[in-house]
Amino acid sequence: MPTIADRLKNVSISASAAMTQRARDLAAQGVNVISLSAGEPDFATPSNAIEAAHAAALAGDTKYPSMDGTPALKAAISRKFKRDNNLDYDASQIIVSGGGKQVIFNAMLATVNPGDEVVIPTPSWISYADIVKFAGGIPVPVACPQQAGFKLRAEDLEAAITPRTKWLFLNFPNNPTGAACSREEMKAIADVMLRHPHVWIMTDDIYEHLIYDDFEFCTIAEVEPRLYDRVLTMNGASKAYAMTGWRLGFCGGPKDLISAISNVNGQNGGGTATVVQAAAVAVLDGPQDLLKERAAIYKQRRDFVLSQLAGIDGLRCHKPEGAFYIFPNMSGLIGKTSKAGHKIETDTDFVMALVNEHHVATVQGAAYGMSPFFRISYATSMEKLTEACARISQFCVELR
């Protein structure tokens, strides 16, 4: 009987997806469960995207797509990079993929050889390390502790780089913490990278437009133009435009790197759906007012959840600058026992007891490489957040 490939042995199932599935299973049993585990906007896809996709289908734009992206979408992406990031990428420097994850996957397969190291500031999105392993590389986590605002410190980055380092990943605003780097903080990271010209930089800017309190987003190639030829600037439509199900990611970078990624893209994807690309053109070139409007709503939700968690003994929360996550420190609850008799020895114990006893789904910090924390997504209605926070509070009060 054939065996499964060895490359999958160290690749785990996403904990956030597993917890979201647990919430769905409970709901299917008739349980009134509230899921705060998925990193998915609850807003509708903008109507101009849907209309553009419909018009493209009616016009017969349903044949094989351009492998790297349609000329119209590449032009729209080029305008987006210039408008939002002051970065100049022409069509030969841009590639379109089926979601931001595919951009990262293709980039790693195109560049990483067995034993190459990839520096990943931690806590980090679950898939980064697994994609690196899949490509044969070695993830090198670098702790970004709560006392540093969950941000990458220059001295820690410097210490992590070796002659075998191939990539540095950056994701600010960050999943799972919501932390974002100021221009000064990003410049300190850039100064380190200038001293290590053998290292590529992947910047995952998917939460770019979800920033609060007058915080100004920046991306590393903009902050330090001397790094431009070593940076892959990745983004997509999923978070800002609430288009998770459309699967549209894109990136800009140096031509040689984009050509290599395109080679991989052509083998594992064959191009992104034509109607999806038409929808992406519409949102990238259309009115951008909804971005600030939705960010304002997320800010209200963030502030509400923070205010509710602040009253719970045993939890400590950093105020995130962006994204739609809060990453509470639950170290004050370690060693306690739930009302149903579950011993809380880890953050995994905490989130499992919480979903099973009070039916609120969150994700353990261990999944993102840092314990004892858990991730809350506030990308849901105020009604659900109000009830969820009340349940979390009740669960914690009952711990003995």
pTM: 0.95
What tokens does 43 get?
Answer: 């807003």
**CATH architecture of the domain covering 47-285:** 3-Layer(aba) Sandwich (3.40)
What tokens does 137 get?
Answer: 């590389």
Q: How far apart are the C-alpha atoms of 372 and 393, rounded to whole Å?
A: 18
- Where are the domains positioned within the chain? 6-44+290-398, 47-285
For 162, counting Cβ atoms within 10 Å of its Cβ (0-12 exposed, 13-18 middle, 19+ buried), the class is exposed
Q: How far apart are the C-alpha atoms of 354 and 332, rounded to whole Å?
A: 16
What tokens does 6 get?
Answer: 């060895």
**Residue among 86, 186, 79, 130 at smallest CA distance from 141:** 130
CATH 3.90.1150.10 assigned to domain 6-44+290-398? The reply is yes
CB 6 within 8 A of CB 24: no
- Going residue by residue through the chain, which has 400 residues, state the pLDDT in tens, using 9 for 90 and above: 777 888 877 777 777 777 778 888 888 888 899 999 988 999 999 999 999 999 999 999 999 998 899 999 999 999 999 999 999 999 999 999 999 999 999 999 999 999 999 999 999 998 999 999 999 999 999 999 999 999 999 999 999 999 999 999 999 999 999 999 999 999 999 999 999 999 999 999 999 999 999 999 999 999 999 999 999 999 999 999 999 999 999 999 999 999 999 999 888 887 899 999 999 999 999 999 999 999 999 999 999 999 999 999 999 999 999 999 999 999 999 999 999 999 999 999 999 999 999 999 999 999 999 999 999 999 999 999 999 999 999 999 999 9
User: If residue 226 lies in a helix (H) or strand (E), which one and from where to where?
Assistant: none
